[in-house]
Amino acid sequence: MREQQENAAVLRVRGLNVDYQTKKGAAKALKDIDFAIHAGERVGLVGESGCGKSTLLKTIMGVLPKNGDVTSGRIELDGVNLLEVDDETRRKARWAEVAMITQSALNALNPVRRVGDQIIEAVRAHRPIDKQEANALVHRLFEMVGVAPERARDYPHQFSGGMRQRAVIAMALALSPKMIVADEPTTALDVIVQDQIFARLRELQAENQFALILVTHDLALVAENCQRVMVMYAGTLVESGPTEEVIAAPKHPYTIGLINAVSVLGSDKQPISIPGSPPDLMEKIDGCRFAQRCPLATSICKDQMPEAVVIASPGGERMVRCHHWQQAEDFALRASNPDVWQSVSAV
Amino acid sequence: MAVMDILRKFYQATWATTGGRISLLVFGFCVILAIVGPWIAPFDPMARNYDAAGKLLRLAPPSSEHWLGTTVFGRDVFSQMLWGARPAMIIGVLTAVGSVIIGLNFGLIAGYFGGRIDSLLMRITDILLGLPFLPFIIVVLSLSGRSIWTIVLAMVVVLWRSTARIVRAEVMSLRERQFVAAARTTGASDFDILYREIAPNVLPLAMTSITFALAWAIITEASIGFLGFGDPDVVSWGSIIYEAYASQMMYRAPWWVVPPGVAIMVLVTSVYFIGRAYEDVVNPRLQEGR
Amino acid sequence: MSSFWLRRLWHSALTLFTMLTLMFFMFRMLPGDPTATVISPALYPKAQEALKIQFGLDKPLWEQYLRYLGNLATLDFGLSFHTGRPVAEEIGGRLLNTILLVFPSMIAAYVLGSFVGAILGWKRGSKTEAILVFVSTALQSAPVFWLSMIAILFFSIKLDLFPVGHIVTPGMFPDEDWRMYFSLDFLHHLALPFLINTIYNFCFPFLLMRSSILATVGEEYIELARMKGLTEKAVLYRHAMRNSLLPIATTLPMTLGWAVAGSVVIETVFSWPGLGLLMVEAVGHSDFPMVQAAFLLIAALTVAGTLMADLLYSILDPRIVNH
C-alpha cells in the first residue's frame, strides 16, 4: 500500500526551505515542507493569509520573485527534481505538467489581448499548433468550462467575473496537465457562482483525472471539495490527513483553533478566532512556530521544533507536527471556551 | 508653512540617494558660480587681450594666464564662462518658478471648479500645445527687443501649460477625497479648501515640474543665444557657442566651444537627476516593481 | 464614424481655427512694426502706399482678417515680404526637407529607445542600465546644436566621414528638385544630423519604456505568462512590452509636431534647408507671412498628431470604448 502510494505520487516536496531576502535580513517563508500529491487526488491547502501558501505555489511553479531563495529541499515531479533541471526543461514542465488557476482572474489575464489568444499561447509555448486546430481546441475548452465559444475573441474586460474565472480554468486545462493548482479560485465571486464553478471543476477533475490542489483560507470549501487536507501555519505544514478525519478529530491545536473559527449556519456555536498574530518570520524561531499562541505550549515548544509524527489511520495516513498531539482530543473539548485561548497571550 | 515644509522634504528626499546628492552639489556649485562668478573672473569677458608684444591674442590655446584660451576677438574664455553662469541661472530659475506658479494656480482652479472654467483653460493649453516653442520665442524676441526679461516672459507663456495639466488631473482626483468633503461640511470657503486643503497635496507634483521646467529653460536660453537672438549685452553660455559658431573658427578652437556646452550639459543633467530622485519619492510605484 | 470621433474632429478644427486667429492678431499686435523692414521709411510715401496695397496692408484689420481666412481656405498664405514670391511655394519644399530629417530620426529614437528600455528594465539593476540612464540623460541635457558642432568637429573635420552641412553637395543638383532625394549624396548629408537627432531624442522613450516595464514586472498576468511556460522573450515582448507600448506609441505622434518646431537649431548648425532654418531666416527678415505660415503648419501638425495619438490609443487599448 505504502509502496504503491510512493509510486503514484505526481508531486513530492521534500525538506523545502525558502527565504526571502529583504533589506532587513532573510525572512524564513517556508520551513521544512514535506508532502506528496498523488495522481487524481483532490487536496486542500489551508492557512491564514501570509502563512506561505502563495510562496509554496510560486516555488512549485518556479516563479519565485527575485528575492526568493530556495535554500534547501527538492520538488519532484514524477521523480525529477525541478530545482535541479536546466531552465528550458523547467519551462517546458510548466503548464504541461502542472497548471494553475490563479486567485484573481481579472489581473491574471492580460487586459490588451484576446482571451482565446492567451489560451492558445500557452499551448503554442509547448507544441506547434495551427490556427484551425487552435480554434477547435479553444472551442472545446470553452464548452468544457461552460462559456459560449464565440466569446474567445473577446477581451478580458468584456467578461463577467465568473466568465473570467472559467476562462482561466479553461486555460489550465489546455494542455491536460497531471496536476492543477487552484489558488483561492473563487474568492472574488459571489457564493452562487462559486458553487457553480466548483461543481464544474469537480466534474472536470473526475473526467480528466488530474490531481487538484485547492489553496484557500476557507476550511468549509476544503471540506466540500477535497479528500485530503494540509494545514499550514507560518511557513510550516502543521497537520495533514484525510479531510473528514482531520475535521472530526484534529490533532494540532492550530487546526482546532481554525475549526473553531468557522461559523456553522444554524448552530448556536459562536465562532472564536485565535487571539494574537503569526510570528514575524524575520526573527529566528527555534521552537514551534505556533507556540506563542498555543494554550498547550510548554517550554519544549519554545525551544525545539516538533518533528512530524505520522499516524496510521483508517482513511490512509495522518501527519501532525506537535509535541503535545496526544493531548489534542482532550484540548478540543476545552477549546470552544474563549478564555482558554485568552490565557495564552498573558503568558 | 507648507512651502518651507515641501522644500525641506524636497531636500531630504533628493539628498538621500547618491545620484541626488551629487546632483544637488553640482547644482549648488552652479548657483554659487552664478552669484560670485563675475567677481572672481580674472578678466573682463568683453575685453580684448593682447600678448606681451601688443598683438591681439586671437584663438590662443589654454595657458597659465588664459586657462581656457581666448576667442577670435582675443577675449578670455574662462572669464566668459564665469559670467555665463548667471544668465543661465536667472533665466532658468525665474522661468521655472514663474511657469509653475501660474500653472499651479490655473491647474488648481480648472481642476477644482471644473465646468466652463475648466474647458476654457484646457482649450488654452491645447492651443499652447500647438505653438512651436522655440520659433515663438524668437519671434517675440525679434519684435519686442532682446532682453533676458522678454526671454523669461515668452518662455513662461508657453511652459505653464504642462504644470497646469498635471496639477489639474491631480486636483480632480483629490476633490472627491474625504478630507475635502470634511472641510466643506465645516463651512470652509472654496478658497480655503483650494489653498489650505488641496494645494499642499499637489505641491510635491509641482516641485517635480519645477525641475523639468528649469532644465528646459536653461537649454532654451542657450538655444536662443545660439540662434543669435539673445540679449546682446549679456554673456551667456549659449552666446559663447554662438560667437564661436558665427566666427566659423570654432573647429580650430575646441577650448572655445567645448567648455560652455559641457557646462550646460552638466548643469542640466544635475537638474534632471534632482527631479528624478524627487519623483521616485513622490511616486514610489516606479522604484519598487516587486 | 462614431459621434466620439466626430466630436473629436470638431474639437481639433476649433483648436486650429482659434490658433490661426490668435496668430493673425499676435503678429500684428506685438510691439514693433514688422513691415518696417520691407517698406523702408526712406521710400517715397507714394511708393510706400503702393507696397502697402500690394501686401493688403491698407485695409482695416478686420478686412485683412477676413481676407486672410479666405486665402487660407485656398491654401494661399500670401506673399513673402522678403522675396515677394508666394509663401506656399517657398515653404512646401522646406517642410519636406524637415520631415525627411526629423520623422525618420524620431521614429528611430522611439523604436530604439523602446527596445533598449524594455530589455534593460526587464533585467533591472544591470550596470549597462545605470550607465545608459546617465549617458542618455547627459546627451539630452546638452544643447543639441552643441552636440552637432562637436559631432561635426569629430566626424566631419577630423575623420572626414561626413559632409559638414547642406542637404546635398552644392551644385550637384542645380534645381534641387525631387531627384536629389534619391541620391546617395543626400543620404550622406542626412546621416550625421539624423544620427544626432536620434541620439538626442533617445532618452525620453528609453526612460518611459524602462519605467513602465518596471511597473509591469509585478503584474499577475506577467507571472501567469511565465507559469504558462512562455519563454522569457515571449513574456517580455508579448506581454510586458505590448502593454508598456501604450504610453510610448501615443506620445510619438504628438512629439512629431514639436520635433519639427525643434528642428530650428539642428537645421541651423547643419545648414539644412528645412522649415526651421526658414523660420530663423524669416524672423531675421521680419518676413511675417512666412513665419505665420510656418507656425500654422506646425500647429496643424500637432493638432493632427494629437488626433492620431487618440486614434492609436483606441486601437492599441481595447478597454477604451469611444462613445
Cβ distance of C269 and B245 shorter than 8 Å: yes
Name all chains with 3 or more CB-CB pairs below 8 Å to chain B: C
pLDDT of residue C43: 65
Which of C19, C137, C302 is closest, CB to CB, to B272? Answer: C137
Q: Which of A107, A112, A127 has the most C C-beta neighbours within 10 Å, making it the best mutation to test the interface with C? A: A112
Choose from A260-274, B46-60, B203-217, C95-109 the range with maximum mean pLDDT.
Answer: C95-109
C204/C64: higher pLDDT: C204
Cβ distance of B226 and C265 shorter than 8 Å: yes
Coil, helix or strand at residue A212: strand
Q: Are C65 and C52 in contact (CB under 8 A)?
A: no
Question: Is it the case that residue A119 has pLDDT exceeding 90?
Answer: yes
pLDDT tier at B286, thresholds 50, 70, 90: very low
Run of H or E residues at C115 = helix C87-123
Quote the minimal CA–CA distance from A131 to chain C in Å.
Answer: 18
User: Closest-CA residue in chain B for C122?
Assistant: B289
* b/e code B62-71 from CB counts within 10 Å (16+ = b): eeeebebbbb
pLDDT of residue A236: 93
Chain C residues in contact with B257 (beta carbon < 8 A): 146, 149-150, 153
Cβ distance of C224 and A92 shorter than 8 Å: no
* b/e code A163-202 from CB counts within 10 Å (16+ = b): bbbbbbbbbbbbbebbbbbbbbbbebbeeebbebbbeebe
| Residue percentage of chain B with pLDDT more than 90 | 29
- Nine-digit cell string for A122: 500557452
Q: Which of A259-273, B257-271, C93-107, C259-273 is least confident?
A: A259-273
| Residue percentage of chain C with pLDDT more than 90 | 33
Chain segment B139-168, per-residue pLDDT in tens: 888 877 888 899 999 999 989 998 998 899
Task: Provide the strand spans (E) within chain A.
Answer: 9-22, 25-38, 42-46, 68-77, 80-81, 98-101, 179-183, 211-216, 228-233, 236-242, 309-313, 316-320
Average pLDDT, chain A: 87
Cβ distance of B135 and C211 shorter than 8 Å: no
- Nine-digit cell string for C132: 545608459
User: Closest-CA residue in chain A for C216?
Assistant: A110
Q: What's the ipTM?
A: 0.87
Question: Is A111 an interface residue toward C (CB < 8 Å)?
Answer: yes
Cβ distance of C319 and A111 shorter than 8 Å: yes
pLDDT of residue C266: 93
pLDDT of residue B23: 92
Question: Is A285 an interface residue toward C (CB < 8 Å)?
Answer: no
pLDDT tier at A218, thresholds 50, 70, 90: confident
Question: What is the rounded average pLDDT of the residues C270-278?
Answer: 92
- State the pTM of this model: 0.86
Coil, helix or strand at residue A202: helix
Q: Which of A155-159, A177-181, C30-34, C319-323 is least confident?
A: C30-34
Chain segment A252-287, per-residue pLDDT in tens: 999 998 888 876 666 666 777 888 888 888 888 888
Beta bridge partners of A26: A21
Quote the minimal CA–CA distance from B217 to chain C in Å.
Answer: 11
pLDDT of residue A266: 65
Average pLDDT, chain C: 85
| Residue percentage of chain C with pLDDT more than 70 | 91
Q: Which of C220, C221, C228 has the most A C-beta neighbours within 10 Å, making it the best mutation to test the interface with A? A: C228
Average pLDDT, chain B: 86
Question: Is it the case that residue A7 has pLDDT exceeding 60?
Answer: no
Beta bridge partners of A99: A180
pLDDT of residue C321: 62
Number of H helices, E strands in chain C: 12, 0
pLDDT of residue C164: 86
CB atoms within 10 A of CB B222: 34
Sheet bearing A211-216, strands edge to edge: A98-101, A179-183, A211-216, A42-46, A228-233, A236-242, A316-320, A309-313
Question: What is the rounded average pLDDT of the residues A75-98?
Answer: 90
User: Closest-CA residue in chain C for A177?
Assistant: C228
Question: Is it the case that residue B265 has pLDDT exceeding 90?
Answer: yes
Name all chains with 3 or more CB-CB pairs below 8 Å to chain A: C
> Of A67, A20, A23, A59, whose CA–CA distance to A281 is shortest?
A20
> Which CATH topology does C94-316 take?
MetI-like fold (1.10.3720)
Cβ distance of C224 and A100 shorter than 8 Å: yes
> Of A130, A128, A142, A198, whose CA–CA distance to A173 is shortest?
A142
pLDDT tier at A229, thresholds 50, 70, 90: very high
pLDDT of residue A2: 43
Chain segment A291-320, per-residue pLDDT in tens: 888 888 888 888 889 999 999 888 888 999
pLDDT of residue B273: 92
Sheet bearing A80-81, strands edge to edge: A25-38, A9-22, A68-77, A80-81
Chain segment C24-59, per-residue pLDDT in tens: 887 776 555 556 555 666 666 776 676 667 666 777
A230/B16: higher pLDDT: A230
CA distances from B215 to B219, C87, C210, C230, C259 (A): 6, 35, 21, 42, 18
User: Closest-CA residue in chain B for C17?
Assistant: B127
Question: Is it the case that residue A98 has pLDDT exceeding 80?
Answer: yes
Q: Return d(Cα B170, Cα B156) in angstroms, integer.
A: 21
Chain A residues in contact with C242 (beta carbon < 8 A): 110, 112-113
pLDDT of residue C99: 93
Chain segment C75-134, per-residue pLDDT in tens: 788 778 778 788 888 888 899 999 999 999 999 999 999 999 999 999 888 899 999 999
Q: Return d(Cα B244, Cα B254) in angstroms, integer.
A: 9
pLDDT of residue A1: 40
| Helix intervals (H) in C228-287 | 232-234, 242-269, 275-284
Cβ pairs B/C, distance under 8 A: 151
Cβ distance of C316 and A94 shorter than 8 Å: no
Query: How far apart, in Å, do the first and last CA atoms of chain B sit?
Result: 36
Cβ distance of C230 and A104 shorter than 8 Å: no
Locus of grid cell 484534529: A250
Chain segment C144-183, per-residue pLDDT in tens: 999 999 999 889 988 989 998 888 888 777 776 777 888 8
User: Closest-CA residue in chain C for B129?
Assistant: C302
pLDDT of residue C36: 58
Which of C141, C279, C300 is closest, CB to CB, to B268? Answer: C141
A128/B250: higher pLDDT: A128
Residue count of chain A: 347
In this structure, which long-range contacts are made by residues A77-86, counting pairs with CB atoms below 8 Å and at least 24 apart in sequence? A77/A10, A77/A11, A78/A10, A78/A178, A79/A12
Question: Is it the case that residue A137 has pLDDT exceeding 90?
Answer: yes
Q: Are C220 and C240 in contact (CB under 8 A)?
A: no
Q: Is C44 left (phi over 0), alpha (psi -120 to 50) or beta?
A: beta
Q: Which amino acid is at C135?
A: V
3-state helix, strand, coil in chain A (%, to 5): 40, 25, 35
User: Closest-CA residue in chain C for A94?
Assistant: C229
Q: Which of B20-34, C1-15, C108-122 is least confident?
A: C1-15
Residue A313 gets which letter from DSSP? E
User: Closest-CA residue in chain C for B128?
Assistant: C19
Which of C214, C268, C283 is closest, CB to CB, to B286? Answer: C214
Number of H helices, E strands in chain B: 12, 0
Chain segment C204-228, per-residue pLDDT in tens: 999 999 988 988 888 889 999 999 9
Cβ distance of B126 and C15 shorter than 8 Å: yes
Run of H or E residues at B192 = helix B190-192
By the 10 Å C-beta count (0-12 exposed, 13-18 middle, 19+ buried), C319 is classed as exposed
Chain C residues in contact with B258 (beta carbon < 8 A): 150
Cβ distance of A112 and C319 shorter than 8 Å: yes
Give me the residue spans of the domains in chain C. Answer: 13-73, 94-316
pLDDT of residue C41: 62
CATH code of domain B18-36+77-288: 1.10.3720.10
Which of B222, B269, B285 is closest, CB to CB, to C138? Answer: B269
Residue count of chain C: 323
Quote the minimal CA–CA distance from A122 to chain C in Å.
Answer: 5
Which of A58, A111, A125 is closest, CB to CB, to C228? Answer: A125
